[in-house]
Amino acid sequence: MTDADDLRRRARDLLAAHPPSTTGSGDFLRARFDAGLAWVHYPEGLGGLGAPRSLQAVVDAELEAAGAPDNDPRRIGIGLGMAAPTILRYGTEEQQRRFLRPLWVGEEVWCQLFSEPGAGSDLAALGTRAVRESGGDWVVNGQKVWTSSAHLARWAILIARTDPDLPKHQGITYFLCDMTDPGVEVRPLRQITGEAEFNEVFLTDVRIPDAHRLGDVGDGWQVARTTLMNERVSIGGMRLPREGGMIGTVAGTWRERPELRTHDLHQRLLTLWVEAEVARLTGERLRQQMAAGQPGPEGSGMKLAFARLNQEISGLEVELLGEEGLLYGDWTMRRPELVDFTGRDAGYRYLRAKGNSIEGGTSEVLLNIVAERVLGLPAEPRTDKDVAWKDLAR
């Protein structure tokens, strides 16, 4: 049985065979994956050892202390937090072996082709069509929007409508789409911050082999729910130290700039500090619960708290800084690889936080999920649930 001592021994064996000081980052990460130390709770041969998820921290601490490289998880967060667990659960053995290793190592960046101009909060109303040809391949046409990292991605997780005669939740199929294929066009979307971390993606006669279908035909909504639950946990349940994230930035400013303090701001800072700490500890509990299996709807609550806290904390920071808080240093069009909250000014953090209540599921939709699936409250009336998608008003 794999326990903490066994994992420490395996980590030390990896370090001895591949010293970080003389081994290239890519070579070390590939060796780590092959040793089963990438994500220890995954099966053997897929970067893991079938060990409890909670033991991943043992490996991470051992390797971090030795100065081993990481896989830049912020850059490949969509792959790690969304694509990988979905491929693990629904993918064929061939798909798992093809995609998981380069995904974890960071050789292939992933993006998510879900939202559409007419299917955001009501994602199941999506209209992108995938039509199967006689040879078995699929031809996809449609438009996706708010796609993070599409300009960097090699692969995408994609949901498309394959049967318009069925109700909207039933006629959807899930695919893995090669972003370098002909017919995939990525256009930047300029945000209020001046950046373009998001994109709109146009799919014109894009051919996807049936071997890149994930799950059964028509079962795409069920597969997508796995992706969405993992997405909300990865956004709302990020592991942070005490005073990590935005609250640490504001608390640091408070300590360094006593001339900015007022009694009212002090009370608000204390309240938000406590709420941020509660959210951090709740995230730790959620990760422990996840050790036994797939995330549940509780992740929606964490994502809700994350969005609200970020917006309130960034607003407090702008108010604390007064005129300085109104400054914004860079309006040039940029296409960043990462969203950097900590390395920018307060004006940037305030503007960027506005998107937190939209991305990863709007707060309004997540409140419904928490009400119905966590609290057990009556569901909202839905008159379109059993109507064929083609007959829905649009």
**What is the rounded distance in angstroms from the CA atom of residue 359 to the CA atom of residue 32?**
32
Q: What is each CA distance from 182 to 162, 178, 189, 206, 317, in whole angstroms? A: 21, 9, 21, 6, 46
User: CA 58, 33, 283 angle in degrees (round to 5)?
Assistant: 45
The DSSP output letter for 191 is -
Q: What is each CA distance from 271 to 230, 241, 256, 277, 353, in whole angstroms? A: 29, 18, 19, 10, 19
Amino acid present at 289:
Q
Closest-CA residue to 145 (of 114, 175, 123): 114
**What is the rounded distance in angstroms from the CA atom of residue 146 to the CA atom of residue 263?**
40
Scored b (16 or more CB within 10 A) or e, 343-373 reads ebbbbbbbbbbebbbebbbebeebebbbeee
**What is the rounded distance in angstroms from the CA atom of residue 348 to the CA atom of residue 328?**
6
Residues 78, 162: contact at Cβ < 8 Å?
A: no
Q: Which of 195, 200, 231, 298 is catalytic?
A: 231
Helix (H, G, I), strand (E, B) or coil at 382: coil
323 is catalytic: no
Q: What is each CA distance from 41 to 2, 15, 79, in whole angstroms? A: 10, 20, 17
**What is the rounded distance in angstroms from the CA atom of residue 157 to the CA atom of residue 231?**
12
**What is the rounded distance in angstroms from the CA atom of residue 293 to the CA atom of residue 97?**
21
**What is the rounded distance in angstroms from the CA atom of residue 322 to the CA atom of residue 150?**
37
Residue 85 CB-half CA count within 13 A = 23
Amino acid present at 186:
V
Closest-CA residue to 191 (of 146, 245, 246): 146
**What is the rounded distance in angstroms from the CA atom of residue 301 to the CA atom of residue 372?**
12
**Which residues are known catalytic residues?**
231
